[in-house]
């Protein structure tokens, strides 16, 4: 796998799709949560929220795949993308500074994700220096 400057991450609580992209090349990696994305059912008068906690090991593996990336676009349909951003801010502030944007995105195809990344980073590069 080559080191690409740009990466787009699509994440939900079950998996993260990471695409390291350049103008002509793309490397794809999928990281799965060991939690399996179990559905929790909240019962009336229960003291807990009915939501799974943050899977820190899952986030650590994602962060490990982004270590040599210069600019990152985080996407996904729900809260996992902002939870990953918070995890990065707490555990890898150097990498959190490389997040260019966090955007809500439902369930696009891999091709649509790569196209979005190229379009986004083409515009983003005009705004920022590419020195990690």
* Closest C-alpha to 119, from 97, 63, 108, 95: 108
Q: Per-residue pLDDT tens for 74-116?
A: 999 989 999 999 999 999 999 999 999 999 999 999 999 999 9
pTM, entire model:
0.82
Any idea where the domains of the chain sit in the sequence? 6-125
Position 54 scores a pLDDT of 73
Q: What are phi and psi of 26, to 5 degrees?
A: -150, 140
pLDDT digits (tens, 9 = 90+) for 18-32: 999 988 899 999 999
Is it the case that residue 127 has pLDDT exceeding 80? no
**Closest C-alpha among 10, 35, 32, 6 to residue 125:** 6
Burial 69-99 (b: 16+ CB within 10 A, else e): bbbbbbbbeeebbebbbebbeeebeebbebb
Task: Identify the residue with better confidence: 129 or 32.
Answer: 32
Query: Which pLDDT value is given to residue 123?
Result: 86
pLDDT attached to residue 59: 96
Asked if the 6-125 domain carries CATH number 3.20.20.70, the reply is no
Burial label, 64 (beta-carbon count in 10 A; 0-12, 13-18, 19+)? exposed
pLDDT of residue 53: 62
Give the residue among 86, 89, 74, 73 at the shortest CA–CA distance from 11: 74
Percentage above 90 pLDDT, the chain: 67
User: Would you give the end-to-end CA distance of the chain in angstroms?
Assistant: 19
Nearest to 16 by CA among 68, 73, 71: 73
């Amino acid at each position: 796998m080559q080191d690409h400057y740009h990466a787009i991450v699509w994440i939900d609580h079950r998996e993260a799709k990471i695409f390291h992209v350049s103008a002509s090349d793309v490397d794809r990696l999928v990281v799965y949560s060991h939690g399996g994305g179990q559905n929790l059912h909240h019962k009336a008068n229960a003291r807990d929220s009915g939501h799974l906690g943050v899977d820190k090991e899952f986030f650590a593996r994602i962060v490990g795949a982004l270590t040599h990336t210069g600019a990152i676009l985080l996407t996904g349909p729900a809260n996992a993308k902002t939870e990953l951003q918070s995890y990065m801010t707490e555990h890898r502030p150097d990498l959190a500074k490389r997040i260019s944007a966090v955007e809500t995105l439902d369930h696009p195809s891999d091709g649509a994700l790569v196209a979005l990344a190229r379009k986004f980073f083409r515009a983003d590069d005009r705004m920022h220096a590419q020195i990690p």
